[in-house]
């Protein structure tokens, strides 16, 4: 499986790097390979492999986050995250100052009861939502305050995401769903130029997760386990540096859930893929390298 994953991940893609933060940061606007400018966006073509998962070292002079020496080198870091939601005139605090550090190549599980804010925290880490207060850094660069377009690029090119409810597009086939991130990230003409290579990589990835016979099936024709496998393949197709998983076994039976966990564990162990998974089940969390608990809006 390790060799198969290495071959699949060795596909060229455009790497997005968040803007540097601090007094030395600059914000030139220049057109990249996709023709659109942005604040200090670096886009460069290079293969994604096991070695390249650790290629981005934080620029210490631009870092304004306090060091977590006890955790070692961090890939993802959250400082003092707060988030509240409003229902009518009532403000409901969900996160009350979360501090969290994730080491490169770590498999971290966040455990908490339903309604504890696990999914909210994961959405903040993945830039799907913005905190009311606090900061988030990825590879030593602040990402929570990026413009919307830059957050989109970050998620498309550096993050992979798996959701409890799969979020496959019903009108697309399994293969097309897996290809969707590459279609979005490459643009129409870029995708057409590399279509054969991309389809080959997506097909091999689906074969790897046991869906080689389901390439042309639509989500309504798949079981829950098959849909989650397709969602995992979609999350991996761009060769992400970080995988965020929100209750990935929540809608699956015990046997299928165990298979999904074994797949995630293999990705972490063999490809050194950093994984942050939230779950309400302590037994599932034990598959991770480290477990933290979210209680009353804070990490214990």
Phi, psi values for residue 288, rounded to 5°? -85, 165
pLDDT at 300: 85
Band of the pLDDT at 287, cuts 50, 70, 90? very high
Q: DSSP string covering 6-32, please? A: HHHH--EEEPP-PPP-STT--------
Task: Give mean pLDDT, residues 217-238.
Answer: 94
Please give the structure tokens belonging to residue 1: 């499986």
As a whole number of angstroms, the distance between CA 184 and CA 47 comes to: 19
267 neighbors 5 (Cβ within 8 angstroms): yes
How many residues would you count in the chain? 300
- Given CATH 3.40.50.300, say whether it is the number of domain 2-299: yes
11 HSE (CA, 13 A, CB side): 24
74 neighbors 100 (Cβ within 8 angstroms): no
Average pLDDT, the chain: 80
CA-only gyration radius of the chain, Å: 19
137 neighbors 80 (Cβ within 8 angstroms): no
Taking 3-state DSSP, the helix, strand and coil percentages for the chain, each rounded to the nearest 5, stand at 35, 25, 40
Band of the pLDDT at 108, cuts 50, 70, 90? very high
Band of the pLDDT at 272, cuts 50, 70, 90? very high
pLDDT per residue as tens digits for the range 139-187: 999 999 999 999 999 999 999 999 888 999 999 999 999 999 999 999 8
As a whole number of angstroms, the distance between CA 245 and CA 279 comes to: 9
Residue 30, C-beta contacts closer than 8 angstroms, at least 6 positions apart: 37
Q: Taking phi first (over 0 means left), then psi (-120 to 50 degrees means alpha), and beta for anything else, what does residue 38 get? A: beta
pTM of the model: 0.76
**Strands, E, within the chain: which ranges?**
12-14, 45-47, 74-87, 90-103, 107-111, 133-138, 141-142, 159-162, 242-246, 274-279, 290-295, 298-299
Q: Say whether pLDDT at 99 is over 60.
A: yes
As a whole number of angstroms, the distance between CA 114 and CA 168 comes to: 24
Question: Domains of the chain: which residue ranges?
Answer: 2-299
């Amino acid at each position: 499986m390790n060799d198969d994953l290495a071959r699949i991940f060795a596909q060229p893609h455009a790497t997005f790097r968040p803007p540097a933060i601090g007094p030395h940061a600059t914000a030139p606007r220049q057109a990249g390979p996709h023709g659109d400018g942005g604040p200090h966006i670096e886009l460069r073509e290079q293969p994604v492999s096991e070695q390249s998962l650790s290629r981005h070292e934080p620029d210490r002079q631009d870092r304004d986050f306090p060091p977590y020496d006890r955790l070692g080198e961090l890939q993802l870091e959250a400082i003092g995250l707060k988030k509240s939601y409003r229902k009518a005139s009532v403000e409901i605090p969900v996160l009350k100052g979360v501090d969290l550090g994730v080491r490169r190549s770590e498999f971290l599980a966040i455990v908490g009861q339903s309604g504890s804010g696990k999914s909210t925290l994961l959405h903040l880490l993945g830039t799907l939502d913005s905190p009311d207060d606090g900061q988030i850094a990825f590879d030593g660069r602040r990402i929570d305050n990026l413009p919307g377009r830059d957050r989109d690029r970050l998620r498309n090119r550096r993050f992979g995401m798996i959701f409890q409810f799969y979020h496959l597009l019903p009108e697309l086939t399994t293969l097309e769903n897996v290809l969707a991130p590459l279609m979005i990230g490459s643009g129409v003409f870029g995708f057409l130029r590399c279509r054969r290579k991309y389809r080959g990589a997506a097909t091999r990835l689906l074969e790897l997760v046991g869906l080689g016979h389901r390439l042309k099936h639509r989500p309504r024709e798949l079981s829950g386990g098959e849909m989650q496998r397709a969602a995992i393949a979609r999350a991996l197709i761009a060769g992400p540096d970080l995988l965020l998983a929100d209750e990935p076994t929540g809608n699956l039976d015990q046997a299928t859930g165990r298979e999904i966990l074994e797949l995630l564990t293999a990705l972490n162990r063999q490809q050194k893929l950093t994984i942050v998974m939230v779950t309400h089940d302590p037994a599932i969390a034990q598959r991770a390298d480290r477990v933290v608990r979210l209680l009353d809006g804070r990490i214990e």
